[in-house]
Amino acid sequence: MVATPKKSRKAKEPEPAVIEPPPPVPVRRRVLRWVLRGLLGVVAFYALLVVLFSFLNPPTNMYQFSESVRLGSVERDWVDWDEIAPVMARSVVAAEDANYCLHWGFDMAAIRAAVAEGSNRGASTLSQQVVKNVFLWHGRSWLRKAMEGVLTPAVELVWSKQRILEVYMNIAEFDEGVFGVQAAAQHHFGIDARDLSATQAARLAAVLPDPKGRSASKPSDFVRRRTRSIISGAETIAADGRAACFEG
């Protein structure tokens, strides 16, 4: 009797594993994730600008651009620190921020005085004004003030006091559409910024809070009085050491 060969049993192939898709991410979490990524992107962008502008000159800003569109053109001529008369820097500090060398971006004494008076006039430091003009926009809003509050200490940390003041003098408006001390010296007196006298520098500093309403070349009685006060203040901060952080 011939035995019939047994059929070999095929090994049962394992069924492919079913990979279940991950559960969908809740919409709220996705939105939060995108918001956080956006915030990190904004922080990285401004951090890069703060570092770059510590040694590169800002090409323009939102306010200058808007004025250029409105007026058709603006006067602007950047000059380095060494091309500006030293008395101009002292005059600006005396006029706008006498404690410039003593604070880290916020003059707390001035802020407390402004709060007590129910006004923010006189509380904005040169550092805050640089941040507003270089990185942000004009106008009153909580968002701008919050960003200014974060960026001001960052600029104070990365930039030198001399650099902050150099940038300020090159972006400040000294007449309608006239930006920077070099353009202002030429516009009002027909000279370069390095040749400004104490009186001329003080007159330019006197118009800073209201460049459209005051004139350095055709000074009102108020501007003349303010000029004398600034000349005295500039001499005082030079004598008592409050100019050391930018003249040293």
Given a cut of 70, whether residue 246 has pLDDT beyond it is: yes
pLDDT at 38: 86
pLDDT for residue 175 is more than 60: yes
Would you state the pLDDT for residue 4?
Answer: 56
Residue 50 lies in a domain: no
Q: What number is the average pLDDT over the span 181-208?
A: 97
Output the pLDDT for position 186: 97
Quick check: is 165 in a domain?
yes
Percentage with pLDDT > 90 across the chain: 72
The reported pLDDT for the residue numbered 93 is 97
What CATH number does residue 97 fall under? 1.10.3810.10
Residue 46 lies in a domain: no
Provide the CA 45 distance to its chain's centre, in angstroms: 14
Q: At what angle do helices 86-96 and 161-171 cross, to 10 degrees?
A: 90
3-state SS, the chain, equals CCCCCCCCCCCCCCCCCCCCCCCCCCHHHHHHHHHHHHHHHHHHHHHHHHHHCCCCCCCCCHHHHHHHHHHCCCEECCCCHHHCCHHHHHHHHHHHCCCHHHCCCCCHHHHHHHHHHCCCCCCCCHHHHHHHHHHCCCCCCHHHHHHHHHHHHHHHHHCCHHHHHHHHHHHCEEECCEECHHHHHHHHHCCCHHHCCHHHHHHHHHCCCCCCCCCCCCCCHHHHHHHHHHHHHHHHHHHHCCCHHHHC
pLDDT at residue 22 is higher than 80? no
Q: What is residue 29's predicted lDDT score, i.e. its pLDDT?
A: 79
pLDDT at site 5: 56
Angle (deg, nearest 10), helices 181-189 and 161-171: 40
| Mean local confidence (pLDDT), 102-116 | 82
**Residue 8 binned pLDDT confidence (cut-offs 50, 70, 90):** low
Q: Let me know: does 93 contact 197? Beta carbons within 8 Å.
A: no
The residue ranking higher by pLDDT, 215 or 122, is 215
Query: pTM of the prediction?
Result: 0.85
pLDDT band at 64 (very low <50, low <70, confident <90, very high): very high
- Nearest Cα residue to 181 out of 156, 207, 159: 207
pLDDT for 95 equals 96
pLDDT at site 109 = 80
- Within a domain: residue 80? yes
Structural contact between residues 135 and 172, judged by C-beta atoms closer than 8 angstroms: no
Residue 93 lies in a domain: yes
pLDDT reported for residue 122: 56
The parent domain of residue 140 ranges over 61-67+75-247
* Region 110-128 average pLDDT: 74
Evaluate whether residue 101 is within a structural domain.
Answer: yes
Q: Is the pLDDT of residue 84 over 70?
A: yes
Rounded percentage of the chain residues whose pLDDT exceeds 70 = 87
For residue 65, pLDDT beyond 90: yes
- Identity of the amino acid at 247: E
Q: Is residue 30 part of a domain?
A: no
Most confident of 37-46, 58-67, 167-176: 167-176
Q: How many domains does the chain have?
A: 1
Question: Is residue 223 in a domain?
Answer: yes
Q: Are the beta carbons of 144 and 132 closer than 8 angstroms? A: yes
